[in-house]
Amino acid sequence: MIGCVGLYGLASFNTARRVREIGIRKTLGASTRDILQLLITQFLRPVLLANLIAWPLAWLAMRSWLSTFDQRIGLGPVYFLGATALTLLIAVGTVAGQALAVARSEPAKALRHE
């Protein structure tokens, strides 16, 4: 939950900083979908990188913890892929609201802002 609040704050700050750029992109013909794709992929890259760094560490920790049990499950990549998918879904849900609000705004207001 704390990570979502931090990600939402970062998305809010970044989109507020890029209002003019987004206004210019929309004026030059970018669609709402293009703006959403630009903003969401910008935030998904660090989330994916963090997951790739966390996979080996989590695998080592889980292997050592599961070895203490008499009956244990096999540790496969499905668990890690599921956790990554859930993380990406939460990140997209957190950033999408802010990105959608900025992507739907009128470019004239953004360009007159300053």
How far apart are alpha carbons 48 and 104 in whole angstroms?
27
The answer to whether the beta carbons of residues 113 and 20 sit under 8 Å apart is yes
Q: Which two tokens stand for residue 97?
A: 């609201």
How far apart are alpha carbons 73 and 94 in whole angstroms?
33
Mapping DSSP to helix (H, G, I), strand (E, B) and coil, where does residue 73 land?
coil
Each residue's pLDDT, cut to its tens digit, for the chain (114 residues) gives: 787 788 888 888 888 888 888 888 888 888 888 888 888 888 889 889 999 999 999 999 999 998 888 887 888 889 999 999 998 998 888 888 888 888 887 777 767 755
Query: pTM, whole model, 2 decimals?
Result: 0.75
DSSP state for residue 30 in the 8-state scheme: -
